[in-house]
């Protein structure tokens, strides 16, 4: 069976790459190759930048109201194709249908936020700041901006975190799609032009390695870079792009912790941890892979968590009954299995082993069942580093004080949660946790798009986060104007700044 070779998109047109190197895209549930994408050449990346630059003057010159009208239309196109995009996301990524649907919905939500553009980027004005002088501030688009995305949210990250606010503000975009999961983003871009009828060149898309993507960090035509990926790469992206005068927002790794106190609602808490730790097979930066559990309830908590994890239905991502789908690729599955072996080697107690899971009829799929480690001690890397798979680590603590200390010792601080019925501990936690996004009895404390996705420490580099008002500020620059106007015949007038009066000679 022949496999479709995809191209790259420049100026609204899909072009065949001149490269000889293509990367397979698989159905994660079966291991079957369903498409191939090109390793675009440096010249082809340059074409995408040139297309975005050429489209910028006309696009940025459109009125705010016209751009917002187009964003409303774009939102409706995404809603109309929700089921189609959900199935495609599930197939190439491995998320179950509900999780894949959520991925698309999380792209729609920021599109709705972008419709608030005329209100959100209003400037300020002060008259008579000094005698006869007025000052005002307004915001303008930057120009061409770049997005470098990971595999785990093929719709939400490029088409939620990046594109809506960037283009609503008047910028044009070059996307470097994730090679393992590019098909959802490519299909969305087709709809962007074919059904939403955006001007050609407003959004361009390439697939390539980091070597070619480095052009986006150094080319003077690129004014800002949004990156999502590992912390090591995020540091390099931040340093390189900033050295070339670009704005950067780099969302990086996480090792989110939850503090589970003895007074929590145990049933509700374990349900929340199951959803957070094992949802999307743990392949999300807001997963909850570590629980600091108060010792007095730890045995009961672990037993209940194991029981619920064992009951999860594992299967093909697009089967309606599936609760836990496969990992994204064979390579990533091997990496996560390596972490499980590392945890055993370090001495953590393996309560539930998810390795060696085979689904009948889908033996080639990349399946890994829920995995639970108990008695994870300080210094065990399995409890400190991001695994990005369905693995949860239990760290036993003796109350709030020890728990918050253990949590804040971690170098990452994307999100954190506390499970308690006591408002005193909850309030202290909100103030004392290093986590940028905080949950109180919430397993996945991701805010709506109206608030910034605000990681801290080694989880984020930059000064403006994605989404919320931060997103608007990141994709625009401020200008402050000081004005002074003279009356007709002003050459015969003088301004007495000391007395604050104008006298005619």
The reported pLDDT for the residue numbered 492 is: 47
- Of the residues 285, 291, 292, 393, only one is catalytic, namely 285
Per-residue pLDDT tens over the stretch 25-43: 999 999 999 999 999 999 9
Q: pLDDT band for position 499 (50/70/90)?
A: very low
| CA dist 122 → 15, 69, 115, 137, 443 (Å) | 39, 18, 13, 9, 35
**Residue 126 pLDDT > 70, yes or no?**
yes
Nearest Cα to Cα of residue 146 among 66, 64, 51 = 51
**Residue 503 pLDDT > 50, yes or no?**
no
How far is it, in rounded angstroms, from Cα 237 to Cα 214? 8
Phi and psi torsions of 302, nearest 5°: -65, -40
Class of domain 257-440: alpha beta
Per-residue pLDDT tens over the stretch 306-355: 999 999 999 999 999 999 999 999 999 999 999 999 999 999 999 999 99
The reported pLDDT for the residue numbered 431 is: 98
How far is it, in rounded angstroms, from Cα 224 to Cα 476? 10
The reported pLDDT for the residue numbered 487 is: 77
Chain region(s) in the chain for CATH 3.40.309.10: 257-440
| Rounded to 5°, angle at Cα 357 from 352 and 360 | 145
- The contacts of residue 90 (CB under 8 Å, 6+ apart) are 96, 97, 99, 100, 317, 318, 325
Mean pLDDT of the region 145-174: 98
Tell me whether residue 285 is one of the annotated catalytic residues. yes
- The architecture of the domain spanning 12-252+454-480 is 3-Layer(aba) Sandwich (3.40)
């Amino acid at each position: 069976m022949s496999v479709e070779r995809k191209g790259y998109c420049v100026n609204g047109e899909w072009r065949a790459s001149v490269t000889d190197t293509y990367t397979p895209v698989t159905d994660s549930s079966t291991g079957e190759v369903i498409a191939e994408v090109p390793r675009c050449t440096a010249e082809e990346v340059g074409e995408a930048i040139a297309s975005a630059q050429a489209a910028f003057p006309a696009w940025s010159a459109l009125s705010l109201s016209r751009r917002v009208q187009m964003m409303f239309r774009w939102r409706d196109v995404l809603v109309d194709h929700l089921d189609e995009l959900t199935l495609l996301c599930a197939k190439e990524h491995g998320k179950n249908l509900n999780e894949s649907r959520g991925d698309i919905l999380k792209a729609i939500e920021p599109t709705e936020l972008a419709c608030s553009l005329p209100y959100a980027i209003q400037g300020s004005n002060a008259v008579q700041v000094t005698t006869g002088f007025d000052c005002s501030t307004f915001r303008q688009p930057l120009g061409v901006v770049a997005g470098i995305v990971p595999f785990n949210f093929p719709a939400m990250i490029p088409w939620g975190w990046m594109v809506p606010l960037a283009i609503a503000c008047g910028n044009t975009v070059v996307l470097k799609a994730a090679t393992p999961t590019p098909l959802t983003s490519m299909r969305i871009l087709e709809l962007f032009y074919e059904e939403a009828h955006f001007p050609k060149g407003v959004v361009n898309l390439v697939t390539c390695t980091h070597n070619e993507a480095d052009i986006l960090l150094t080319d003077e035509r690129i004014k800002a870079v949004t990156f999502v990926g590992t912390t090591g790469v995020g540091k390099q992206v931040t340093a390189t792009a900033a050295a070339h005068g670009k704005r950067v927002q780099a969302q990086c790794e996480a090792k989110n912790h939850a503090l589970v106190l003895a007074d929590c609602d145990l049933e509700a808490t374990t349900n929340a941890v199951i959803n957070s730790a094992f949802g999307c097979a743990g392949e999300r930066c807001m997963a909850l892979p570590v629980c600091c559990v108060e010792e007095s309830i730890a045995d009961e908590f672990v037993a209940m968590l194991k029981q619920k994890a064992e009951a999860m239905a594992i299967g093909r991502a697009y089967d309606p009954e599936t609760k836990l789908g496969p990992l994204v690729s064979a390579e990533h599955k091997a990496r996560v299995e390596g972490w499980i072996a590392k945890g055993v080697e370090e001495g953590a107690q393996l309560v539930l082993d998810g390795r060696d899971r085979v689904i009948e009829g889908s033996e080639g799929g990349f399946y890994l069942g829920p995995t639970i480690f108990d008695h994870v001690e300080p210094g065990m890397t399995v409890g400190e580093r991001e695994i990005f798979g369905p693995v949860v680590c239990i760290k036993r603590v003796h109350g709030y004080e020890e728990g918050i200390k253990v949590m804040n010792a971690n170098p990452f601080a994307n999100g954190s949660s506390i499970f308690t019925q006591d408002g005193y501990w909850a309030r202290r936690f909100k103030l004392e946790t290093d986590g940028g996004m905080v949950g109180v009895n919430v397993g996945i404390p991701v805010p709506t798009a109206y608030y910034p996705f605000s990681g801290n420490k080694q989880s984020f580099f930059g000064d403006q986060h994605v989404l919320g008002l931060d997103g608007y500020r990141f994709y625009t620059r401020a200008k402050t104007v000081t004005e002074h106007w003279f009356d007709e015949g002003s050459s015969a007038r003088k301004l007495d700044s000391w007395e604050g009066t104008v006298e005619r000679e």
